[in-house]
Amino acid sequence: MSLPGDSSSSGARRFLRPKKLRYATFVLPRTGQRLKGLVNLRNPYPDPHGSNDNDERRPLLPRNVIECPKSLPARFWYGLQHIWSWMHEFVSSELGIGVLKCSLAYLLGSLATFVPAIASFLGHQDGKHMVATVTVYFHPARSQGSMYKALICAFLAFLYAAFISLTSMCVSMFFQDTLHMLPVGHALVLIVLKMVVMGVTITMAVSFLIFPISARKKLRSNLTTVTESLATMLALITESFLSGSEEELQTEEFTSTAARHKKAYAQLDKLVREAKLEHFVAGTEKEYRLEKKLVRWVQDITHNMGGLRSAAHLQFQLLKPTELAKLQSHGPETGTMPLISPWSLHEDGPFLERIDEQPDEEDRLGATDMNATNGNPTNSLHPADIFALFISHLGPSMRSLAFTLKEIFRDIPFTPAPEFRVSVNSRYRTSLDRALELYRESREEALKTIYRQRELTGVQELEVEADLEEVSASCGHFSFSLLEFEQPLASTADDAGVAPQRDMASSPESSLSPSTAKIERVTSAEKRLGYRLWRSLGFFRRDDTKFAIKVGAGAALYALPSFLQSTRPFYSHWRGEWGLLSYMLVCSMTIGASNTTGYARFLGTCLGALCAILSWYVSAGNVFALAFLGLLMATWNFYLIIVRGQGPMGRFIMLTYNLSVLYAYSLTQKEGRDDQDEGGDSPVITEIALHRVAAVLSGCVWGIIITRVIWPISARERLKEGLSLLWLRMSLIWKRGPLSTMAFPKETAGFMSPREKLEVERFLSHLESLQASARSEFELKSAFQDASYGNILRRTRSLVDAFVAINLELVKNMTASEGELAILRYTVKERQQLSSRISHLLSVMASSMKLEYPLSDVLPSVEHARDRLLARLFHYRKDTEMSRLSTDEDYALLYAYILVTGQLSVEIEAIMGEISRLFGVLHEDAVKLYS
């Protein structure tokens, strides 16, 4: 390609596009008016007069520069002001209010120990600190819906405890009257029930009466955040696609918006469940159903946004090769003038200017010259030329539609905080329809021009055919992806205002294809009694069953010394009951999780003991000082629990503090029994704290031993087995052939059922939790490769997202048109080869991970099969007789399929690279034979 700058490049100058934005027709969403002006996605509204010089008027340096004071008193005062502003901002936030509510609940719970009237209601015993402990674990920093759920759990637990209490009374009567033994102390059970109910009541009162948190408002706030972030992401992705550069997607604005969207999106399902209980209590079940449907539509829009970003990412990959840049660096070539790449003209600028298209007159001249130039058979058509042609025709319309969608996203579905009332403009639907009508007309003309331009160029090589078809697929899929926003966005506007007229589309419930169902047959092994017995005992082979059995056995062994006459004094002296409680809290399903929680809880116990000793000596046992210091302790620890996310450590700090300080105060009130070893009525706080630390340490160590020795469940092994199982499952799913569900709708139940999708998502989340636990497992064989497994899980999630994306496309097109069936029949062989290759590679990855064996370096490539499919599609378009039934819309699904297979190819190659780094590459030394 030639560069501008010499006398022979005058033809190239015709393709230079000015840096000014091109005038385009757009629809103003709030009024439905069709206007013509400069559409800038960065500004809230386009400027019909063309004034776009706000950036030029803005100063480079801000005027309000804050200078740090130099004198010591001024610095001290400046620091105090900064701390005060931070504290005011934190206290006014939701997290700060939650911390204060928890601190207040703890203060009220500690009154059960400090106030004599309340203490006497709980009887003569030294365990009244349990009320405060309940407020720690059952804290009020929750929404009302979450508190309803917790209240239901507490009520069920109360019923269960009451049943155990009544049963214990019957057992007591049996032992006392029949066997003439001492009665069982059922009164203690009733006292514990009183303390639990008191703690739950305090927490519920604080949660509902002081700054109550509504899950309904939080849900609407999250929906508003999601739609606003979707608006920004849509604008930036469209800008990035039209400029041909990833720079827009790497800016701070996009990354922060994506992070904000991810955080709000992840909370939607939880908030829907919590809002459900609130709606049922308030009697607004219909509103809940609409909100739930609205959440589903927003989730669909998010998936469509992922498809839009994937389409843009594919385009970046196609435009990355440096061959064009090398050709440009050689200067103008002799002979005919090839088409000029749009970003080869400004070395200092980005790849493409943002929709800096030519005016209409220049476009027509450019198109005429382009056609005339391409009439020469020696011209070569590059992917960048196809893309530049696409942008010159569809760029303004694409920008206009993106502007309309973005503005609707920003306004629906609720008003700003704190009310978040339903707010829908009735003109949105009309505006959206008008914008789509304008866009469809321009899109059809642009796609026709692209293929007309390609037909004028004689292309014979398979790779060139595949590249050009892939660029066309990228442009076509991006344009179709913008159209995919119409249905969920229109339904979102409908659902926010009135009840929808039709239900959301869903795929069939069956999760097995006919090929899988036909394989299921009864084997002779099932008829044997031994095999039937083995299957009936499958419940005991489950990890959760093994975990329950070994934890129960460990607890019985730990509690055994308390029932033996010889060891009971020692067990009581060192407070073995609190060690038993620590053991129950430390035991986790996997070794790594037990190690992590054991460390956090032991460190929290030591810190709690130190704080307890310090508080006791500072307060000298004064009740008011102890209450105030307890309030400070609660504020600090709930900050750790709620804001910092250090739940186990913070809870054990407070647990140890309660067991030491509140217990010691109970002893001073002569509430203790047989506590002379800890000072009796004059408690020795150091002895109490030492006994608590020793008990917690013994419980933590015992829990780690039980987890490691009896049926150990390694998070590392479960992670490898889980990845292998997930890849095998995905291999079987892809083996069905995604597009085959359209060709044979009566024989298949769909590509992925909703149940399968949910199972895969949950299993992947389970694997991510296993990775976090595996970091804390220590083996002599090798250290855990956390970075490699993190990359594998991230790539696997991308694979799952690709599966979900193609499944969403299939759900919307369950019945194929005549044109789509013609395309599917023409490409059936290439599609089968491509699907088989992807399924095969997923199976190979699963086998390597399961066996921990190196991969072969001669595995087949997905790209070759994909290029053959693209070339086949290219030939189909050139064959006018075969393609006469197919319209541009008929290619949309195949474009999505091509895009998804490209993404799968990239992710599979990356995963295989990580597996090779973990286990190496297959060589002769790895497969030595032995006898």
pLDDT for the residue numbered 265: 84
Is the pLDDT at 723 greater than 90, yes or no? yes
828 lies in some domain: yes
Of 288-302, 445-459, 555-569, minimum mean pLDDT range:
445-459
Does one domain contain both 688 and 780?
no
pLDDT at 718 over 70: yes
**CB burial readout 669-690, b (16+ within 10 A) else e:** bebbeebeebbeeebebbebbb
Specify the pLDDT at position 628: 92
**For residue 245, what are the CA distances in angstroms to 43, 315, 467, 673, 715?**
20, 9, 18, 76, 41
675 and 725 housed in the same domain: no
Q: Coil, strand, or helix at residue 252?
A: helix
Q: How far apart are CA 481 and CA 314, in angstroms?
A: 13
Q: Which residues of 620-634 are buried (b: 16+ CB within 10 A; e: fewer)?
A: eeebeebbebbbebb
What is the tens place of the pLDDT at every residue in 606-631? 899 999 999 999 988 888 999 999 99
Residues 647 and 734 reside in one and the same domain: no
> Which domain CATH number covers 895?
1.20.58
Q: Which of 709, 731, 766 is the last residue of a domain?
A: 709
Q: Per-residue pLDDT for 654 more than 60?
A: yes
End of a domain among 658, 675, 709? 709
Task: Check whether residue 870 and residue 890 sit in a common domain.
Answer: yes
Residue 902 lies in a domain: yes
Residue 441 placed within a domain: no
- Residue 881: inside a domain, yes or no? yes
Question: Look-up: residue for tokens 């990845």?
Answer: 723
Stretch 728-751: mean pLDDT, rounded?
73
Tell me the C-alpha distance between 666 and 681, whole Å.
Answer: 9
692 pLDDT above the threshold of 70: yes
737 and 629 within one domain: no
The verdict on residue 374 lying in a domain is: no
What pLDDT is attached to residue 165? 67
For residue range 82-113, what is the model confidence (pLDDT) as tens digits? 788 878 787 888 888 889 999 999 999 999 88
Which of 495-499, 727-731, 748-752 is modeled with the greatest confidence?
727-731
Q: Is the pLDDT of residue 595 over 90?
A: no
Higher pLDDT, 780 or 576: 576
The SS3 assignment for 506 reads coil
Q: How many domains does the chain have?
A: 2
Q: Are residues 834 and 699 in the same domain?
A: no
Please report whether residue 845 resides in a domain.
Answer: yes
Shared domain check, 745 and 632? no
Report the first-to-last Cα separation within the chain, whole angstroms: 65
Closest CA to 896 of 825, 797, 810, 829: 810
Mean local confidence (pLDDT), 882-905: 80
Query: pTM of this prediction?
Result: 0.69
Separation of alpha carbons 196 and 305, rounded Å: 48
List pLDDT tens digits, range 511-530: 333 344 444 444 454 457 77
Residues 593 and 738 in one domain: no
Q: Which range marks the domain in which residue 690 is found?
A: 543-709
Q: Tell me, what's the pLDDT at 759?
A: 84
What is the rounded CA–CA span in Å between residue 482 and residue 608?
57
SS3 25: strand
At 846 the pLDDT is 92
Encode burial over 111-139: b for 16+ CB neighbours within 10 A, e otherwise: bbbbeeeebeebeebbbbbbbbbbbbebb
Quick one: 779 and 677 in the same domain? no
Predicted confidence (pLDDT) at residue 430 exceeds the cutoff of 60: yes
Please report the DSSP string for 527-578 in residue order.
GSHHHHHHHHGGGGGSHHHHHHHHHHHHHHHHHGGGGSTTTHHHHHHTTHHH
Tokens (6 digits) for 233: 């992401």
Torsion angle in degrees (nearest 10) through CA of 250, 251, 256, 258: -40
Give the residue carrying structure tokens 């899950």: 215
pLDDT value of position 280: 85
Report residue 797's pLDDT band, with 50, 70 and 90 as the boundaries: confident
**Which of 684, 709, 734 delimits the end of a domain?**
709
Averaged pLDDT for residues 63-79: 65
Q: What is the mean pLDDT of the chain?
A: 74
Average pLDDT over residues 399-403: 80
Number of H helices and E strands in the chain, helices first, is: 36, 2
For the chain, give the percent of residues with pLDDT over 90: 6
Task: Clarify whether residues 622 and 658 are in a common domain.
Answer: yes
Looking only at the bridges linking them, the beta strands covering 23-27 and 34-38 are antiparallel
The answer to whether residues 720 and 705 belong to one domain is no
Question: How many Å separate Cα 539 from the centre of its chain?
Answer: 32
- Lowest pLDDT segment from 142-151, 477-486, 767-776, 902-911: 477-486
Residue 383 or residue 656, greater confidence: 656
Give domain status of residue 597, yes or no. Answer: yes
pLDDT tens digits, residue range 212-268?
Answer: 888 888 888 888 888 888 888 888 888 888 877 778 788 888 888 888 888 888 888
Lowest mean pLDDT among 357-361, 698-702, 769-773: 357-361
DSSP strands (E only) in 416-507: none
**Distance (Å, rounded) from C-alpha 595 to C-alpha 703?**
9
CA distance 931 to 924: 17
Packing angle of the helix pair 215-243, 144-173 (nearest 10 deg): 130
Residue 453 belongs to some domain of the structure: no
Q: Which of 322-336, 401-415, 806-820 has the lowest mean pLDDT?
A: 322-336
In this structure, the answer to whether residues 564 and 686 fall within a common structural domain is: yes
Question: What would the pLDDT profile of 239-250 be if each residue is shown by its tens digit?
Answer: 888 877 778 788
Q: Vertex 362, ends 17 and 342: CA angle to 5°?
A: 30
Rounded Cα distance, 672 and 695, in Å: 19
